Every structure is written in structure tokens, then in C-alpha cells.
Structure 1
Amino acid sequence: MLRFLRNLLLLALLAVVGAGAWGLWWLDQPLKLKAPNIDLSVEPGTTPRGVAEQVVANGVLTSPDLLYWWFRLSRQDRQIRAGSYELTQGVTPRLLLEILVRGKEATRSLVLVEGWNLRQVRAALAKADQLQVLTAGDDDAQLMARLGRPGVAPEGRFFPDTYTYSKGSTDVALLQRAMRAMDRHLQAAWDARAADLPLKTPDELLTLASIVEKETGKAQDRPEVAAVFVNRLRVGMPLQTDPTVIYGMGTAFDGNLRKKDLLTDTPYNTYLRPGLPPTPIAMPGKAALLAAVQPAQSKSLYFVSRGDGTSQFSETLDEHNRAVNRYQRGNRP
């Protein structure tokens, strides 16, 4: 009888050791998934057992009890965070818990490009993966009211950058981040402005920077491009910049700017109207903002494209006409 009990105890001990060894092995084995990628949403207040059950319900082929006891034995079960997660092939029970405890949410990214206008921003939002678009039916006024800036024009108000977001986030949250980022960069540029700039407010700076952004082909030309427009503002000369005219045409622009377009009056036609247009025409980046407040020390009033992305700058109309003949009409000297 004693030998039987001893053997029984030994078997039980071996079973425990075996189960422990199997458990350690299981923790580092890839879990089988019903699909290459499994979405998992953990709502606030979900219990550890509820999380285990949700993992299995969403397509992870394992025992929810095993997962639950792993969560418990790890002593990290109460550290699991709510969030939206993405599980991929190769995830192990150990890695799964690490993801849930560290809050490694599934994220996507959206790039807002320097020089984009609001229509392009909205088109990108509409195509963004796993982003809830709540503003699709909003006009400009409704959009800015939703973002907490009623009465402000939305054009140019969002800083061009790469924004990451969790699956299921809203375009409102993303745009608010982009708007706050522009606020910071605009204020920093305004604080660094040259003393003699013909700009009265940060909003005027934003508008000028948007023109500089659209008119610059090569980065090294930005300060000189900015100088041309600053010099024109100083002497009261019309800005005469094509991108503002194109912006004022809206969706009517077909890719070709014609003479009749330059003669058609809109609030953005800087050939016919003096000073800055009423709003920015695009999203300026940091470099354009800084160029607008720290333009080159130059007397240039004109510039023309050389055809390679760079520009030829001129102080007088005669010099400019010669540059146009050379670079635009091919009349080489």
C-alpha cells in the first residue's frame, strides 16, 4: 500500500512537471489563426477571462481557459489595457500578453503632404484605412465648428506630416492633432520673424507661407522666393502669382492656366487684387513658414522657372523679360 501511494505521488509529480514543461513550451509556440490578420478590440472594463474569450471568438484557435490561466499565472492579468489590436501570424501566447499589457495597439498612418489644399486632405481622409470619417458632409464652417475653431477658414490650418492613428479613430481627432501642430509651428515662426516684415498677424504669415510653398520648385530657392513676395508687399506691387489664381478657380481648373483666367476676377486673383489673398491656398511646411519670416536679403521682384525646378531671380522688369525669353521661350543669347 505504501509502495502504491509512493508510486501514485511520483506519477502526480511527474504529471505536474510534465504539465509545467508543456506549459513553458506552449507559451512560445505560434498560435493558429483563422486568417493572416486578426482584429481584436478590448473594451474598457473587460475582465481577463473576457479578454481570453474575445481572443478566441475573433479567430485565434486555442483554448480560452488556457489563455485565461496564462494571464492569471503571469500576474499581469490586471495590467491588460483596453484598445484596438491586430494579431498576425507567428504571435505566441507570451507575445500576445505582451501586446495587451504594453498597449501595442494596431496603428495606421496618414501622410498630409506639403502644398496640399483642403480638397486633397479630405480625399486622403476618405481613403484612409480604418479611419472613421465623420466630416464627409461638412462644409468649411461646419468642419471648423466641429474642430472647435468656429469662424476660422480651414485652408492651410493643418500641418503637413505623417500621423499615426489607432484603428477606428476618427478624422476629427486626426485633424485636431494636425491643427494643433500647425498652431505650434506657426507661432514658432512668428516669434522668429524679422523685424521689418510687412506682415501684421500670424494669419498673414500662414497665407504668405502657403504661396511660398506652392511657388518653390527647389528647397534652396525658398528664401529668395519669399523675398520676392515680401519685396512686392513692401512696395505695394501685386503679387501676381499663378497658384493663387488656380486656387480661386477651384475645380474649374483643368491643368492649363490661360490668359482669360488671369483676367477673371476672384478674391484669389493676385494679378487683379493687391496684397495677400483672403486665406492660405495650401498647407505650408516648416521650411516655407521659416522662409516667409526670414526671407533672403534680396532686392528681387521677379522670378521665372529655369525648367529644372530652380528659378531665375531678377531685380528689374528688363532683367526679368530677358530671363523669360531665355528660359521660357528658348531665346538663348
Structure 2
Amino acid sequence: MNFKKLIAIIAVVGIVIAGIITFYVYNKAFTANTTFNQKEVFVYVPSNSTYEQVKEIVSPFVKDMDKFDFVAQKRDYASNVKEGKFLLKKNMTSFDIVRAMKSNVPVKLAFNNQETLGKLAQRLATQMEPDSTSLMKAFTNPEFMETNGFDDDTILAMFIPNTYEFYWNTSADKIADKMASEYKKFWNEERISKALNKNLTPIQVSVLASIVHKETAKIDERPRIAGVYLNRLEQNMPLQADPTVIFAMKKASGDFDQVIKRVYSKDTQGTISPYNTYINLGLPPGPIAMPDISAIDAVLNAEKHDYIYFCASVDRMGYHDFASNYAAHQVNARKYAEWVTKLGINR
């Protein structure tokens, strides 16, 4: 065999081998390797997970784990596991899956008005890695509260209901720090100035806003109700807010899941609590719920009027009837009491 033929044979063999290797690598790394029919799924890798644990987590979504493992080893993922929330899409290749497992996807953390810090922690724990116990510990850390100007009664005011962006595996302490930062950002110079013009601190605004929030779900009515309470504060009258009595009753029983639709004189006069604004002048020591932004801004931009009374309306569902004197208020209150009695609402 002459030299040229030998070279040709070697070249052909080399091409064949290269083709086999190329096909092998392509088949391992660049063919669809998912099992799910949904357009996309999210997988969660807890903190301090090992590569073996990651394989267990992704295995329900990966058709051929050998292919995934091959690429993970070649791409140095096996020794550099990433923690967090990751997005996998239908028909991803092993190469795509490993690349996706290196890109932590932010979580849109959302919460609405909660009555207690415990309920907030439970809500957040369903969206983030830290459990409710860790979150409560971070939120109520004495040093953290003191540094940010809160105490056990007022800490709920720090949480402004909204949507915030976090990584799923963000620690409880960092979540607390972020919430404190967002609170300070929310209370800009304009809002602080409006609060001071009403002789209120930002926390006091939140306390009053929590009452306004509980009084009505009608956002367009909140500035008027806020105006009533500000008039009462200015005249040194008790706020006499039923939601504060309900909160006091729930707090005393430890059951915040109970539903109380009607408040009686025995409740307003017999519930001994600093949160009962029928027997205590001024604002309660802390928010009775987490007010949303519309309630806070309703206090800051309260309607100016001479109303000092209001009662749920029986003609405009969800709204209230307002009065400037007690006689007019008695007419409205009697109408409402007769209506709820007729409906059989006893508690």
C-alpha cells in the first residue's frame, strides 16, 4: 500500500470517528430532553444542596438523566451548584437545562393587607425559601426593630403591601432589611411633609390608615372617612372605631380567623384593651392591620369637611352615610341597626 492511500484511509477513519463523536455529543447535549407537556415549569434548589440532590429535584422533568449528567459534568455545573428558583421550558436540550440551572430567576413577592405579623410571615413563606419561623425571628429581632424605629406594636407598619422582587433563596434577615429599605423609600419627603402637616408621624399615619382600610373597601370613600377621624382627633374625641374593638377582641382571644360582623355596646365598653378606641382617646398603639397604599394616601390627602360621624349605608351598599351632628347620626345608625337585625346578623 502506497503512502497516499494510507493517508487517505487514515483521513476517512478520522472523519468517521469525528462524526461519531460529534453525533454522540450532539445527541447528549443538543436534543430535546424534557418530560413535561406544560410550556414551562419552575424548579427550586434549596440552600446548601448537593449535586446529587439537584439531580433528584430535576429528575421528574428530565427524560434522560445520563444526558443531563454528561453536560453538567462537562459544563462544570456538578461542582458549582446554584441555589434558587429556575425556569425550565418544554423541549429544552440538556445544554439548555444546565444553562437554565445556572440562572436564578427572581420571585415577584406579593402580599396584601394582613392583620398580624404572623399571618404575613405565613404568606411570605409560601413564596420564599425561609419558613415563617425564620421570618418572624428576623422581623421581631429587637436590634432590627430599634434600628428602624419600630417596636412590637408598630412593626406591622413597616410592610407596605405591594409586589417586590427577591431571589427565592434570599435569607430572612435580608428580606427584613429589604422591607425596611422599601419602607424608607415609600416615605419620601412629600409624604413625610403631608404627615407632619397633620401633626402625625409616618407610623401614626399607618395606624390611622389601618382603621380607614378596615372601615371601607371603597377606595373613593377612604379620604372622607380619614377626614372624619382627623376631625375627631383634632377635637379630642374618641375615634370610636368598630374595627379597633374587633381587633382587640381577636387579640384577646388569640383567634384572628374568627369573623365578627357586628359590634355591641357590651363589646365597646367591656373590651379592655389599648386598642379599643371607644374607651381610649387617640390612636391605638399600633396598626390593626396592614393598610394598603390607597388607605395611607387617603389619610395624607384626607377630605376636608365637618363630619364627625358616619354609619354604614343601607341604600348604597359598601358605602357610608355621614353626619356633622349626633342627632343626624342617630337617624342613620337606627336605620342601619334595624336593617342588620332584619337580616339576622347577630355577630
Note whether the superposition's TM-score is higher than 0.5: yes
Q: 1:278 aligned to 2:285?
A: yes
Relative to structure 1, the CA distance from residue 56 to residue 241 in structure 2 (aligned partners, 3 Å threshold; closer, same or farther) is closer
Alignment CA distance shift 1:128-1:188 (3 Å): same
> Which whole-Å CA distance do the structure 2 matches of 1:137 and 1:54 have between them?
28
Flag the 1:166–1:146 CA change in 2: closer, same or farther, 3 A: farther
Question: Would you say 1:183 and 2:179 are equivalent positions?
Answer: no
Distance 1:41 1:18, change over 3 A: farther
Q: 2:295 and 2:43 mapped to 1: Cα distance?
A: 42
Q: How many angstroms apart in 1 are the aligned matches of 2:232 and 2:30?
A: 68
Amino acid at match of 2:289: A
Report the counterpart of residue 205 of structure 2 in structure 1. Answer: 205
Q: Which amino acid aligns with 2:160?
A: F
User: Counterpart of 2:158 in 1: which secondary structure?
Assistant: coil
Instruction: Label 1:85 to 1:111 Cα distance change in 2 as closer, same or farther (>3 A).
Output: closer
CA distance in 2, matches of 1:298, 1:116: 30
CA distance in 1 between counterparts of 2:20 and 2:216 reads: 70
How many corresponding residue pairs? 312
Rounded to whole Å, the distance in 1 between the matches of 2:275 and 2:259 is 17
Say if 1:132 and 1:169, in contact at 8 Å, map to a contact too: no
Deviation at 1:292, TM superposition (A): 0.8
Structure 1 equivalent of residue 233 of structure 2: 233
CA contact (8 A) 1:40 1:87 kept: no
SS in 2 for 1:31: coil
Q: Which residue number in structure 1 is paired with residue 223 of structure 2?
A: 223
Amino acid paired to 1:318 = A
Aligned to 1:295: 302
Question: SS of the counterpart of 1:147?
Answer: helix
Show the counterpart of 2:344: none
Q: Which residues of 2 match residues 141-220 of structure 1 at below 5 A? A: 143-145=140-142, 147-149=144-146, 152-153=151-152, 154-163=155-164, 165-187=166-188, 190-193=191-194, 196-199=197-200, 201-220=201-220
In structure 2, what is the equivalent of residue 14 of structure 1?
A: 16
Which residue pairs with 2:7 in the alignment?
5
Question: Which residues of structure 2 form unaligned runs of 5+?
Answer: 341-347
Report matched runs for 1:65-104 at 5 Å: 65-69=70-74, 71=75, 82-86=82-86, 88=88, 90-101=91-102, 103-104=103-104
Task: After superposing the two structures, state which structure 1 stretch, 256-265 or 129-138, moved more.
Answer: 129-138
Query: Which of 59, 66, 85 pairs up with 1:62?
Result: 66
Identity of counterpart residues, as a percentage?
22
Q: Is the 8 A contact 1:159 1:284 kept in 2?
A: yes
Q: Which residue identity lines up with residue 8 of structure 1 in the other structure?
A: I
Mean Cα displacement is larger for which, 179-188 or 213-222? 179-188
Query: What SS is found at the alignment partner of 2:278?
Result: coil
Residues 57 and 228 (structure 1), Cα distance of their counterparts in 2 relative to 1, 3 Å cut: closer
CA contact (8 A) 1:115 1:210 kept: no
Q: Aligned to 1:310, which of 315, 319, 326? A: 319
| 1:31–1:91 CA contact under 8 A, matched in 2 | yes
Change beyond 3 A, Cα 1:32–1:290:
closer
**1:31, 1:62 within 8 Å by CA — same for their partners in 2?**
no
Asked whether the 8 Å contact 1:198–1:233 carries over to 2, the reply is no
Q: 1:259 aligns with which of 265, 278, 289?
A: 265
Distance, in Å, in 1 between the alignment partners of 2:130 and 2:160 is: 19
- Separation in 2 of the partners of 1:297 and 1:170? 45
Q: TM-score, normalised by structure 2?
A: 0.74
